[in-house]
Chain A
Amino acid sequence: MSTESKKDWKKIARANGLSIPDAALERIAQSLDALEADFRPLARALPSETEPAVAFHAAIHADGEDAE
Chain B
Amino acid sequence: MTLLEAAAALRRREVSSAELTAAALQRIDRLNPSTNAMQFVMAEAARERAKQADEELARGEGRGPLQGIPIAVKDLFCTKGVRTTGGSRLFEDYVPDHDATVVEWLRAGGAVLVGKTGMHELAYGITSSNPHFGAIRNPWDRDRIPGGSSGGSGAAVSAGMVPMAMGSDTGGSIRIPASFCGVVGLKPTYGRVSRYGAMPLGFSLDHMGPLTRSVRDAGAVLNAIAGYDPRDETSSRRPVESYVPDIEPSIRGLRIGLPENFYFERLDPDVDAAVRVAFHTAESRGAEIVPLRVPDIAAINTVARVILLAEASALLEPHLEQRDRFGDDVLALLDQGRLLPATDYINAQRLRRAMQREFAGLWSRVDCLFTPTTPITAPRIGETTVTAGGENEDVRLAATRLVRAINPLGLPAVSIPCGADRRGLPIGLQIVGRPFAEALVLRVAQALVPVEVPVPPL
**Interface residues, chain A, with chain B CB atoms under 8 Å away:** 9, 12-13, 16, 18-20, 24-25, 27-28, 31-32, 35, 38-39, 42-43, 46-47, 50-59, 61-63, 67-68
Residue of A nearest to B236 (CB): A68
How many positions in chain B have a CB within 8 Å of any CB in the partner chain? 44
**Residues of the A chain whose Cβ atoms lie less than 8 Å from the Cβ of B204:** 53, 56
Given A12-B339, A25-B335, A58-B410, does the pair A42, B299 have CB atoms closer than 8 Å? Answer: yes
**Interface residues, chain B, with chain A CB atoms under 8 Å away:** 189-191, 204, 234, 236-238, 298-299, 302-303, 305-306, 309, 321, 331-332, 335-336, 338-339, 344, 346-354, 356-357, 359-360, 363, 408-411, 434-436
Q: How many A-B residue pairs have CB under 8 A?
A: 115
- Give the contacting residue for A42; candidates B302, B309, B336, B363; CB below 8 A: B302
Contact A43 B351 (CB under 8 A): yes
Contact B335 A20 (CB under 8 A): yes
**Alpha-carbon separation in the docked complex, A47 to B353 (Å):** 11
- Give the contacting residue for A62; candidates B309, B348, B435; CB below 8 A: B435
Contact A38 B302 (CB under 8 A): yes
**Alpha-carbon separation in the docked complex, A51 to B356 (Å):** 12
Q: With both chains docked as a complex, state the minimum distance between the C-beta of B188 and any C-beta of chain A, in angstroms.
A: 10
**Residues of the A chain whose Cβ atoms lie less than 8 Å from the Cβ of B338:** 13, 16, 18, 20
Q: With both chains docked as a complex, state the minimum distance between the C-beta of B276 and any C-beta of chain A, in angstroms.
A: 28
**Residues of the B chain whose Cβ atoms lie less than 8 Å from the Cβ of A19:** 321
Residue of A nearest to B204 (CB): A56
**Residues of the A chain whose Cβ atoms lie less than 8 Å from the Cβ of B410:** 56, 58
**Alpha-carbon separation in the docked complex, A42 to B299 (Å):** 8
**Alpha-carbon separation in the docked complex, A31 to B336 (Å):** 8
Contact B331 A46 (CB under 8 A): no
Contact B191 A62 (CB under 8 A): no
Given A51-B353, A61-B357, does the pair A13, B344 have CB atoms closer than 8 Å? Answer: no
**Alpha-carbon separation in the docked complex, A63 to B346 (Å):** 24
**Residues of the B chain whose Cβ atoms lie less than 8 Å from the Cβ of A16:** 338-339
**Alpha-carbon separation in the docked complex, A68 to B233 (Å):** 11
- Give the contacting residue for B363; candidates A43, A56, A62; CB below 8 A: A62
- Give the contacting residue for B339; candidates A13, A43, A56; CB below 8 A: A13
**Residues of the A chain whose Cβ atoms lie less than 8 Å from the Cβ of B349:** 52-54
Contact A32 B302 (CB under 8 A): no
Given A53-B204, A58-B410, A62-B434, does the pair A28, B351 have CB atoms closer than 8 Å? Answer: no
Contact A62 B360 (CB under 8 A): yes
Interface centre among A53, A55, A57 (most CB of B within 10 A): A53
